[in-house]
Structure 1
Amino acid sequence: MGNCTSVMSWLRMPSVPLRSDAGADTPRGAKASATTYSLIETAKANGVEPFAYLHHVLQHIGNARTVEDIEALLPWNTPVKKMQ
């Protein structure tokens, strides 16, 4: 069945308010926060260093034109360094 403790701690993580979440009181701000949390946690779950992954995605997302381009940015498909 897997390790429920790590899943539960992952689910609770975004509930901790951060000072930088000031824009999350609007629908656009909430969506931006959810997207950021999702990118960070997906990187961590795949053993990829989160900051390096976000940097890579933000550098290349503007040039993504096809589904294949987007899939190339997924953490398991990127050349971003792994966490140690």
Structure 2
Amino acid sequence: MVEDSRGGVGIKIDEELTAMVLGYGMRLAEFHSKVMVKDAVVTVPPYFGQVERKGLLQAAELTGLNVLALVNEHSGDAL
């Protein structure tokens, strides 16, 4: 967490760390489903802006994961 330009709180995402977490989740999904995972829909917190979303997409690209869509967590819960 970092202070943003307006004096509020922001989230700084390290793409490499996020890529490691996404890769771990991908391996867990492959292990339990016994199917190779290459596409995913990823949920993001509602306070994520465009910069954070772009960072998440870049992290997914590092892992070789094809993100079909980024969905708000609340929308994902509803679905």
Q: TM-score range by the shorter chain?
A: 0.3 to 0.5
Higher helix share: 1
Higher strand share: 2
TM-score by length of 1: 0.33
Between 1 and 2, higher relative CO (CA 8 Å, sep ≥ 6) is seen in 2
TM-score by length of 2: 0.34
